């Protein structure tokens, strides 16, 4: 039985985009109705054995799909929460950043109060020894980032700006998590009050993307929101609310991409943008209203799920230099639609949103042959919704032998993995 949402259902959902509240309510009601007709007798099914990173009486997860939880040496990072993750995050209750050895022993756990369920605290490796994550400085009332050493098992550096993405120990890009909390709390932190409407519209020349040099700590606002709006400017920008998100630095470190999202009467518009890591050139790569998720594939190509130039929502290859766009017409990918792709060498993994049976699917695709295989499906209960949803967010391990993902197939959020036989 095909439990995927069909063309007409997707078209209706797309037409409701300008009415987000109505769309959310309609989707929830419809999903519950069709589930009872399509539900499975199992909670998950995989081609290979499912393994779980577990701690007693806690939920575990890693975060976003663009980072691997493992280092070259096989050490593993994850978050652990005593707080039920089916509810909203709380600035009054902390979660822990956990470090495990390659043998699975818990070596270190450090609390943080700056987190969400989609990206955690942006915990990730800087190199084979150092890792970074975000926290909140109660005295200064500001978001910060902390750097720890797995070799020394202690903190070695603090920055007065939170990390969004990093290029090893050369630099990282920071953004305004308070603005994110106001406009998209899924990815923001709750330690500060939400911005007012006037705050969102004023001083755009003082908000945007900051570059922080790792060695010196020097900070520069490399691209303000004002700078970003000047690129392919249109008059409607003056009436819109703006934010930036999802920074991903290129493998070469000389440039990065990010989303410029703006809102007009609650309707969202997306622009995928490319910027030099040194303040300089910035340009719009695509602007066909919707850009969802993407991943670098080498130094000059992106894998993007977006609306293409002919209005088709699909995965595309995008050359950041020439602007050339090629639709990927893999049958398996086309059947399931939007997902979170993580590319490494000749492969990428991606996932799906829950189908009619509330199953999320895990897919492995060969970049050279553009052929995909199904790795498994995992149940996603209705209690995890909105900000507390649990996307699989698959990531290839550093050695490319495992796929890690977050899942709630057993009723609690857990960091899971399956081993690959490539």
| pLDDT attached to residue 312 | 95
Given this model, what pLDDT does residue 31 score? 87
Report the pLDDT value the prediction gives residue 61, as an integer from 0 to 100: 98
pLDDT at 17 (0 to 100): 64
Q: What are phi and psi of 418, to 5 degrees?
A: -125, 145
| pLDDT tens readout for residues 8-60 | 556 666 666 666 666 677 778 888 889 989 999 999 999 899 999 999 999 99
Query: What whole-number distance in Å separates Cα of residue 32 and Cα of residue 26?
Result: 10
* Cα dihedral 144, 119, 189, 244 sign: positive
- Indicate if the alpha-carbon torsion angle 180, 182, 188, 193 is positive or negative: positive
Beta carbons of 404 and 394 less than 8 angstroms apart: yes
pLDDT at 93: 96
Q: Give the Cα separation of 340 and 354 in Å (integer).
A: 13
pLDDT in tens, 79-113: 999 999 999 999 999 999 999 999 999 999 999 99
Q: What is the CA angle 27-355-351, rounded to 5?
A: 115
Beta-carbon contacts of 95 under 8 Å, excluding residues fewer than 6 positions away, are 79, 80, 81, 82, 83, 111, 112, 115, 120, 121
Cα maximum dimension of the chain: 59
**Structure tokens of 139?**
């005295």
Which one, of 155, 156, 133, lies nearest residue 144 by Cα?
133
Which stretches of the chain score pLDDT less than 50? 1
62 Cβ neighbours under 8 A, 6+ residues apart: 69, 77, 78, 79, 120, 123, 393, 395, 404, 406, 415
Alpha-carbon distance of 183 to 227, in angstroms, equals 20
Give the whole-number percent of the chain exceeding pLDDT 90: 86
Class of the CATH-defined domain 39-419: mainly beta
pLDDT at 165: 98
Residue 226, pLDDT score: 98
CA distance 34 to 120: 31
pLDDT in the model for residue 32: 87
- Predicted local confidence at residue 233, as pLDDT: 97
Strands (E), 37-129: 44-46, 51-53, 59-61, 76-81, 95-100, 106-112, 124-125
Query: Alpha-carbon distance 297 to 346, whole Å?
Result: 9
User: What pTM value is reported for the model?
Assistant: 0.92
Where b means 16+ CB within 10 Å and e means fewer, 192-211 reads beebeeeebeeebeebbbbb
- Residues contacting residue 29 through CB under 8 Å, at least 6 positions apart: none
Task: Say how far apart CA 175 and CA 208 lie, in whole Å.
Answer: 6
Q: For residue 25, what pLDDT is reported?
A: 77
């Amino acid at each position: 039985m095909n439990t995927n949402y069909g063309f007409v259902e997707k078209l209706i959902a797309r037409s409701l985009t300008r009415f987000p509240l109505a769309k959310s309510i309609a989707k929830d009601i419809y999903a519950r109705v069709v589930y009872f007709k399509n539900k499975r007798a199992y909670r998950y099914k995989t081609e290979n054995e499912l393994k779980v990173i577990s701690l007693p009486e806690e939920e575990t997860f890693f975060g976003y799909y663009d980072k691997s939880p493992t280092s070259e040496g096989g050490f593993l990072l994850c978050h652990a929460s005593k707080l039920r993750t089916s509810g909203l995050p709380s600035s009054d209750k902390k979660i822990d950043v956990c470090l495990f050895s390659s043998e699975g022993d818990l070596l270190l756990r450090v609390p943080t109060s700056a987190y969400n369920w989609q990206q955690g605290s942006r915990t990730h490796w800087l190199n084979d020894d150092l890792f970074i994550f975000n926290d909140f400085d109660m005295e200064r009332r500001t978001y910060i980032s902390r750097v720890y050493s797995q070799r020394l098992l202690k903190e070695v550096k603090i920055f007065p700006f939170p990390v969004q993405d990093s290029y090893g120990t050369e630099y990282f890009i920071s953004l305004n998590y308070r603005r994110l909390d106001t406009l998209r709390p899924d990815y923001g932190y709750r330690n500060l009050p939400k911005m007012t409407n006037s705050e969102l519209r004023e001083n755009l020349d003082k908000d945007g993307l900051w570059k922080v040099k790792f060695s010196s700590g020097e900070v520069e606002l490399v691209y303000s929101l004002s700078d970003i709006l000047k690129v392919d400017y249109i008059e409607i920008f003056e009436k819109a609310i703006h934010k930036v998100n999802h920074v991903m630095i290129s493998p070469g470190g000389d440039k990065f991409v990010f989303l410029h999202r703006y809102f007009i009467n609650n309707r969202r518009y997306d622009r995928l943008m490319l910027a030099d890591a040194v303040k300089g050139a910035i340009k719009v790569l695509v602007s066909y209203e919707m850009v969802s998720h993407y991943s670098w594939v080498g130094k000059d190509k992106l894998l993007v799920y977006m609306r293409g130039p002919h209005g088709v929502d699909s995965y595309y290859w995008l050359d950041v230099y020439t602007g050339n766009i090629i639709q990927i017409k893999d049958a398996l990918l086309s059947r399931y639609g939007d997902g979170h792709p993580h590319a490494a060498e000749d492969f990428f993994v991606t996932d799906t949103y829950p189908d009619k049976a509330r199953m999320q699917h895990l897919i492995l695709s060969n970049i050279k042959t553009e052929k995909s295989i199904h790795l498994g499906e995992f149940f996603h209960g209705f209690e995890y919704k909105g900000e507390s949803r649990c996307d699989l967010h698959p990531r290839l391990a550093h050695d490319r032998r495992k796929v890690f993902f977050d899942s709630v197939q057993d009723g609690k959020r857990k960091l899971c993995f399956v081993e690959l036989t490539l």
